[in-house]
Amino acid sequence: MNGYNGYNGTVLRVNLTDGSIKKETLKLDEAEKFIGGRGLGTKMLMDEIDPTIDALSAENKLIFVTGPLTGTPTPTGGRYMVVTKSPLTGTVASSNSGGYWGAELKFAGYDAIIFEGKAEKPVYLNIVDGEVEIKDASAIWGKRVDETTTMLEEIHGKKARVSTIGPAGENLSKMAAIMNERGRAAGRSGVGAVMGSKNLKAVVVRGSNKVDIADNEKLKEVFSRCMTKIKENGVTGQGLPAYGTAVLVNIINENGALPVNNFQSSQYDKADDISGENLAENYLKKKDPCYRCPIGCGRYCEVDDIKTQGPEYETIWCFGSDCGINNLGDIVKANYWCNEYGLDTISTGATIAAAMELYQKGFIKKEDLDGGPELVWGNSDAIIEWVKRIGEGKGIGAKMAEGSYRLCESYGVPELSMSVKKQELPAYDPRGIQGQGISYATSNRGGCHVRGYMISPEILGLPEKLDRFATDGKAEWTKIFQDFTASIDSVGLCLFTSFAMGADDYADMYNAVSGTKLTGSDFIEAGERIWNLEKLFNLKSGVDSSQDTLPKRLLEEPIAEGPSKGWVNKLGQMLPEYYKLRGWSEGGIPTPEKLTALGIIEYK
């Protein structure tokens, strides 16, 4: 027993500039105050960097951090976060990934790795329990994700877990992801570019220890209760296991909120062709669950000679209806190439959609394409080839690799980028789902659906059904979901468990593992503390609350047809209430009183 139940008590600090590796003692009081994962990583980042630095400079730090439930027998206990300053948005980035890598890091004895500085030449880190070594990566630099992973497994054994960047990260694409186990991604906010900027190709880890549990009997009791809820819930027990996240395609489309052609419309007449049902019938080979996951939403698909993990709902949407494409096989291929190059599928697909609108309106000319497929709606060849060119940084693909905002801005029309804080919006039109709009606008990492998933109450009716067109009460619901999600990300579990579990369930599980006595309210308050700290980081970095907004199209152009016809998002009616409920000023700045109450006034 190490006295750190749920936590290992050790943080690795790797200085890539001088090659030094240090093992530091985890500050347990800080870990518990911010729970772990996203919260602890944000606290570390805030303490260690100047938020105004260039995200791709050696001064930025890259933090891989687990939660106290990562690597434990808890359901979905395999999550980890990558925390850094985002090159895409300039905000705090904390990208979540599943699979097995996070659990393996805990088994090796570490709660987090802090990478600082920049290596002179390409390197990777190899961890085998207490042995940690920086190794030469020249032989794998330039390789795509599958080949990199295979080569490292041949060196370190099939049981080693590999987290790596692909060529997109090496080329510093602001949409670059960090991939683990080939198809799992810490996908959003350009974290892969930060890894590439440090000449860090991969992190290989193998562990043989177990995470200490404070009360195994209590954990068994809580585990049994939560597993029953997960299995009996319609989403986690039926929909996601059967059809994966793509079960949402027809559901969102039927509500008139599935964006089409870069959000020019919001209902797709060929949605059945790209549905989760079609994916399951014609492309799915097996389920691909993460560590300790009873839900099993992960897909493993095949088309022609391509075998790949995924695609997820958002991937199917952005390469599908958002680009006017109904060929699901080609969408599966585009997903594969994103995984291979190490690209965030949402930002990549949405950027291609924006490029298609730029082409449609004459901003991008045919001669600009350097012989590549025309960027016209419905051209399946375009999504596959332009993913490759983005990943390789070739021609106009290098421009697209900067993300849709910078691409559209370069042509003088930034409003054609469907993004918030320069990060591309995912697969839900907020004109038809009002609460999702305020969640997008106020997200601390830019356009994002998993920082406050208002689809749950507004579309799925969980924990209760809300009128998706109403604005009353949506600010309060958004705040609760944002705080709740921050704590779930920090504890090390998958967000999907929240369809079935409540704050008391998470608190009980955390208490059984760690030996603490958190209540459900304490759990939510920890999330509020994390949310406010992220907001402070953004304010210090220069991303102020004037950016808490939505693209002009979504605020001013009503949906032309379908079940959401005539609607725009009424953000202006919700935002003042949101700031008030957060205890912030009218200008969206956390007040000293709120920061004092949350115990983070020193970051004011």
304 domain-assigned: yes
5 domain-assigned: no
Last residue of a domain, which of 424, 459, 474?
A: 424
417 & 439 share domain: no
236 domain-assigned: no
pLDDT for 2 beyond 60:
no
Last residue of a domain, which of 390, 424, 458?
A: 424
Mean pLDDT of the chain: 97
Cα distance between residue 364 and residue 533, in whole Å: 40
441 & 412 share domain: no
232 domain-assigned: no
The CATH number of the domain holding residue 82 is: 3.60.9.10
Nearest to 454 by CA among 495, 420, 418: 495
221 domain-assigned: no
pLDDT for 100 beyond 60:
yes
388 & 415 share domain: yes
Q: What pLDDT, on a 0 to 100 scale, did the predictor assign at position 4? A: 87
Nearest to 222 by CA among 458, 596, 510: 510
pTM of the shown model: 0.97
Locus of tokens 């994916």: 279
Q: Into how many domains does the chain fold?
A: 3
554 domain-assigned: no
The CATH number of the domain holding residue 371 is: 1.10.569.10
27 & 58 share domain: yes
Q: What pLDDT, on a 0 to 100 scale, did the predictor assign at position 301? A: 95
**Tens-digit pLDDT profile for residues 479-493:** 999 999 999 999 999
**Tens-digit pLDDT profile for residues 254-294:** 999 999 999 999 999 999 999 999 999 999 999 999 999 99
504 & 393 share domain: no
Cα distance between residue 21 and residue 12, in whole Å: 7
Helical H segments across 312-426, by residue range: 313-319, 328-341, 345-360, 380-392, 396-400, 404-410
383 & 266 share domain: yes
532 domain-assigned: yes
- Give CA separation, 122 vs 139, 166, 206, 471, in Å: 9, 13, 21, 51
Q: Note down the domain range covering 300.
A: 245-424
Give the containing element (helix H, strand E) for 24: strand 20-25
Last residue of a domain, which of 178, 206, 234?
A: 206
**Tens-digit pLDDT profile for residues 556-580:** 999 999 999 999 999 999 999 999 9
235 domain-assigned: no
pLDDT for 1 beyond 80:
no
Average the pLDDT over 507-518 and give the result. Answer: 96
456 & 598 share domain: yes
**Tens-digit pLDDT profile for residues 151-160:** 999 999 999 9
| Percentage of the chain exceeding pLDDT 70 | 100
Token representation of residue 263: 């959000």
Nearest to 275 by CA among 325, 235, 238, 313: 313
198 & 253 share domain: no
**Tens-digit pLDDT profile for residues 292-323:** 999 999 999 999 999 999 999 999 999 999 99
